[in-house]
Structure 1
Amino acid sequence: MPDRKNIHFYYHENKEVEKKLEPLFNLARSNDLNIVKDHKDASIIVSVGGDGAFLQAVRKTGFRQDCLYTGITYSDESGLYCDFNMDNFDEMLHSVMHEEIEVRKYPVIEAQVNGESSFHCLNEVSIRSTIIKSIAIEVIIDDMHFETFRGDGLIVATPTGSTGYNKSTNGAVIDPKIPCFQVSELASINNNRYRTLGSSFVLNQDRKLTLEVIQDGNDYPIIGLDNEAYNIKNIKDVTITLSDKVIKTVKLKNNSYWDRVKRTFL
């Protein structure tokens, strides 16, 4: 691992944001931290913004396994991935530099499209129709046909991703200490021809989920990877498994995942 004193800030560069961040930069330097421009040289990667910025930071830096990620929100924001905000950045630095670090590990899912391109997701992978027509998908678990889905699409979420898009479709919120992934439906059609479970279901870490797109004219669905959308021509199948990779973050004391869920939703 690179020197723990090397820190990289991930944010959308502009003068207004940099002006707000200057006190943080000065605080980091005063704690003998080296601010590096290349994330490959950092042992700590700090996203600035909300959960969306954290997801982008992890994706754009390649889901690194040899560093710690952490997120800082602006003072008026909250986030499920971000333990810190502008007002307690010094607390994060103190934890990193002077205390025994508590590390939280988040599961990551891997999606392989057409047996070729492979992508990692910290939140979820979704497959949705791009036209005003429902999409039909064969749902296969461990090479066993489970159901034929027809509707707007499907979401496959990690435990931490369960509080986002998945939750909005009445999926369950899952403890991130459980290594698994969850499948949720988007506006499924249930009739004499198509029949689905009609609820979310959770798969263990050793399961393999295959989604085969039925080629009936809806051959160009959108694949959503966390907060990015990809148009991939002629998608035939997507295979999803739980990756061996995990995202390691600095854990703030007395701020568990469920503390943040409570603050956000209750």
Structure 2
Amino acid sequence: MDTRKNLYFYYKKSDEIIEKLKPLFKYVEENGFLIVEDSKDANIIISVGGDGEFLQAVRHTDFRQDCLYLGITQKDESGLYCDFNIDHYDRMVDSMKDNSIEVRRFPVIDVTINDESTFHCLNEAAIRSAIIKTIVIDVSIDNNHFERFRGDGLIVATPTGSTGYNKSTTGAVIDPKIPCMQVTELASLNNNRYRTLGSSFILSQDRKLRLEVIQDGNDYPIVGLDNEAYSIRNIHLLTMQLSDKRIKTVKLKNNSFWDRVQRTFL
């Protein structure tokens, strides 16, 4: 860890947060770290502002594999990705100086749209109807047709993403040590005419998921990648599989994924 000395801070610029960060900036420099202006020069990227800001930091710095990501929360912010609080920044600096620190690795999903552009997701990818009408999607696993879905949409979540949007739609919370994807339905139609599995299901890291949007007037669905919505015209095909990429963060003692789930939900 002692070779990781260049820090890049990702946060929403405001006078209030800049004032809060001044003592932290001074403290890290006093401890031998360098604050850089370009994320490409950093080997530790630090987000300030909870899980939403952490996801933005990872996305806007291109899911880098050669650095560590750390998250700092402020008051009353969720922190399933964030181990530190801005009022106790000394703990973060001490952890970065500790050569015995462990690194936690989070899985990422690759999403390819229309066999053209590929995006990455740390939390989840969601496809939803953009009009007041059910969206129809042919679901295939490893190029074998599985079901025809009718409903509001589908969520494909990583294990760490399982605690967010996925959990709110009755999906399971998954241990991030299990490399997999979870597919969860949004308000599916199930009656004598239409039938889906009716529950979430989990795919191993070797599986490939194919979602083909039936062009029946719902030709411009909303695709959400983590906490960003993408407006892409004529989406007809999404393919998803677990990436070889892993997002690396510091693992603190006595602060496992399940410790944080317990603090957040129980």
Is 1:9–2:9 an aligned residue pair? yes
Question: By how many angstroms is 1:78 displaced?
Answer: 3.7
RMSD of equivalent CA atoms: 1.3
Q: 2:235 corresponds to which residue?
A: 235
> What percent of counterpart residues are identical?
71
What SS does the aligned partner of 2:175 have? coil
TM-score, scaled to structure 2: 0.98
What SS does the aligned partner of 1:250 have? strand
Q: For 1:197-236, what aligned pairs fall within 5 Å after superposition? A: 197-236=197-236
Question: By how many angstroms is 1:121 displaced?
Answer: 0.1
Question: By how many angstroms is 1:86 displaced?
Answer: 1.1
Distance 2:234 2:156 in 1: 20
Distance 1:98 1:160 in 2: 25
Runs of 4+ in 1 over 6 A off after TM superposition: none
What SS does the aligned partner of 1:63 have? coil
Worse overlay, 224-233 or 72-81: 72-81
Cα deviation, 1:18-72, whole Å, max 9, x if unaligned, reads 1111011011111110000100000000000010000000000000000000100
Is 1:45–2:16 an aligned residue pair? no
TM-score, scaled to structure 1: 0.98
What SS does the aligned partner of 1:20 have? helix
Cα deviation, 1:200-247, whole Å, max 9, x if unaligned, reads 000000000000000100000000000000011111110000000000
Q: For 1:1-266, what aligned pairs fall within 5 Å after superposition? A: 4-266=4-266
Question: In 2 relative to 1, CA 78–229 (structure 1 residues): closer, same or farther, beyond 3 Å?
Answer: closer
What SS does the aligned partner of 2:88 have? helix
What SS does the aligned partner of 1:218 have? coil
Question: Aligned residues, how many?
Answer: 266
Distance 2:192 2:186 in 1: 19
Contact 2:2 2:99 in 1 (8 A): no
What SS does the aligned partner of 2:149 have? strand
User: What residue identity is the alignment partner of 1:139?
Assistant: V
Question: By how many angstroms is 1:2 displaced?
Answer: 11
Distance 1:226 1:76 in 2: 21
Distance 2:78 2:150 in 1: 36
Consecutive unaligned residues in structure 2, runs of 5 or more? none
